[in-house]
């Protein structure tokens, strides 16, 4: 019995229970405003548990336990378990508390059994003492019976000392369990305070996230409106595409009907194109020939132009020489006329006028002819 209680009160089990309870508290606090309810339940369950354990210890130590009280105690513990089970987050705590209460019930029952056996042994001893006294008064069983009774007394005293030690060990283990539970409660308080600060931080985060979510919801609504408009536009485009497909099918049928005459016309055009290509080749050859002729004519024209320029230069030089000769001749004629006039001036005074007129007319004709030649020999 003491070994089982010590095992339950060990730090490993206490650490596991604290971990489970801490997890349940964190889960409960994550819900928002349920942290205060969880703290109240923990405090209430702790107080009730401590009270019940103190009452159980008092009953164990003063041996004030009977069957009816044990049944009432078990019912109260079951009700406590039911109260704790309505919160899903406190299942681990309720399991641990129920385990402790069950151990307390077993301890009370053991103490009760021990007291019952002790009472029975006392009754037996009293009966045996009464019988021995009666036998001794009669004169039987003076030596051996006294030894047996002394042996039974020693055994009963040894059993009673063992039972008392067991009760003391049970009390010490229960105290140790209470201390561990108090430590767990303090740890839970600390974890609850930390979780409460975390909840405040999470509340601020949730508020910010709620604002972000509201903005995103508005953006989503805007996107949904746009999506609806786009869906309507898509439907309109789909109708237009269907109409275009019908039109394309109609045009395809018309084109298929016109394919054969189109092929015939294409063949005719191909023949015409072949003829035209031949004519183009001929025209190309003719153009090449004409280009060659033009090049030759251009060369001849250039040569003729060069010769004409040379002839013009020669004509200019000849005309210049002729001009000089004409000028010299005109000067000579003037000198000759002047000499002739001076020489034959008096001689011809008595001559008839016709001869003089003829000589002057011939001279004038000569001068005119020379001027005409000079005018013709001028450069262009």
- 202: which 2 tokens? 């999470």
Q: How many residues does the chain have?
A: 380
Answer yes or no: are the C-beta atoms of 227 and 70 closer than 8 Å: no
pLDDT band at 320 (very low <50, low <70, confident <90, very high): confident
Encode pLDDT of 115-145 as tens digits: 788 788 778 777 777 666 655 655 544 444 4
Which residues are within 8 A (CB) of 52 and not within 5 positions of it... i.e. 6 or more apart? 73, 76, 77, 101, 104
Number of Cβ atoms within 10 Å of the Cβ of 244: 11
Between these two residues, 285 and 9, which has the higher pLDDT value? 285
Q: What pLDDT is recorded for position 43?
A: 57
- What is the per-residue pLDDT across 226-256, written as a single tens digit (0 to 9) for each? 889 998 998 988 999 999 999 999 988 887 8
User: Which range is least confidently modeled, 65-69, 222-226, 330-334?
Assistant: 65-69
Q: Is 344 helix (H, G, I), strand (E, B) or coil?
A: coil
CA separation, residue 237 to residues 48, 231, 245, 292 (Å):
75, 10, 12, 65
Confidence band of 10 (pLDDT split at 50, 70, 90): very low
62 or 363: which leads in pLDDT? 363
Pick the residue with more confidence: 318 or 3?
318
Q: What is the mean pLDDT of residues 84-101?
A: 60
**Rounded Cα–Cα distance for residues 5 and 178 (Å):** 12
Report DSSP letters for 181-192, one per residue.
HHHHHHHHHHHH
Instruction: Give CA separation, 346 vs 304, 334, 357, 369, in Å.
Output: 60, 19, 16, 30
Average pLDDT of the segment spanning 271-282: 90
Quick check: 17 pLDDT over 60?
A: no
Q: Which of the four pLDDT bands, split at 50, 70 and 90, describes residue 93?
A: low
User: Does residue 78 surpass a pLDDT of 50?
Assistant: no
> Which of 56-60, 162-166, 251-255 is predicted most confidently?
251-255
Question: How do the domains of the chain map onto residue ranges?
Answer: 2-224, 261-376
The rounded Cα 8 to chain-centroid distance in angstroms is 53
What is d(CA 153, CA 335) in angstroms, rounded to the nearest whole number?
209
* Paired tokens of 323: 């001009």
Residues 355-378 pLDDT 10s: 444 455 565 666 666 666 656 554
With a pLDDT cut of 70, the percent of the chain lying above it is: 53
Q: How far is the C-alpha of 123 from the C-alpha of 100, rounded, in Å?
A: 34
Q: What is the pLDDT of residues 341-350, one digit of tens each?
A: 776 554 444 4
Copy the structure tokens of residue 90.
């406190």
Residue carrying structure tokens 């079951």: 78
What does the alpha-carbon distance between residue 284 and residue 173 come to, in Å, rounded to a whole number? 126
């Amino acid at each position: 019995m003491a070994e089982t209680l010590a095992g339950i009160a060990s730090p490993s089990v206490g650490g596991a229970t604290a971990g489970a309870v801490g997890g349940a508290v964190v889960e409960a606090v994550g819900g928002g405003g349920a942290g205060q309810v969880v703290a109240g339940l923990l405090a209430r369950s702790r107080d009730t548990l401590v009270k019940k354990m103190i009452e159980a210890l008092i009953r164990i130590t003063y041996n004030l336990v009977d069957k009816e009280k044990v049944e009432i105690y078990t019912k109260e513990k079951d009700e406590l378990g039911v109260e704790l089970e309505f919160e899903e987050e406190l299942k681990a705590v309720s399991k641990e508390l129920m385990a402790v209460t069950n151990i307390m019930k077993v301890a009370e029952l053991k103490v009760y059994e021990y007291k019952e056996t002790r009472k029975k042994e006392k009754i037996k001893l009293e009966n045996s003492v009464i019988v021995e006294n009666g036998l001794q008064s009669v004169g039987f069983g003076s030596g051996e019976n006294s030894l047996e009774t002394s042996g039974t007394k020693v055994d009963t005293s040894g059993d009673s000392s063992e039972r008392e030690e067991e009760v003391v060990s049970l009390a010490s283990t229960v105290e140790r369990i209470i201390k561990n539970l108090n430590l767990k409660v303090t740890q839970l308080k600390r974890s609850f305070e930390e979780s409460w600060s975390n909840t405040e931080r999470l509340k601020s985060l949730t508020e910010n996230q709620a604002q972000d979510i509201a903005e995103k919801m508005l953006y989503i609504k805007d996107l949904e409106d746009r999506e609806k408009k786009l869906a309507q536009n898509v439907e309109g485009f789909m109708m237009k595409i269907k109409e275009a497909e019908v039109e394309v099918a109609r045009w395809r049928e018309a084109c298929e009907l016109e394919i054969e005459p189109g092929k015939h016309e294409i063949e005719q055009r191909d023949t015409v194109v072949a003829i035209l290509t031949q004519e183009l080749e001929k025209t190309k050859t003719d153009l090449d020939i004409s280009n060659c002729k033009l090049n030759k004519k251009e060369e001849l024209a250039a040569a003729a132009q060069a010769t004409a320029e040379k002839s013009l230069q020669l004509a200019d030089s000849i005309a210049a020489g002729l001009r000089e000769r004409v000028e010299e001749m005109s000067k000579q004629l003037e000198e000759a006329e002047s000499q002739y006039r001076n020489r034959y001036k008096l001689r011809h005074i008595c001559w008839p006028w016709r001869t003089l007129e003829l000589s002057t007319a011939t001279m004038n004709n000569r001068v005119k002819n020379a001027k005409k030649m000079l005018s013709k020999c001028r450069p262009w």
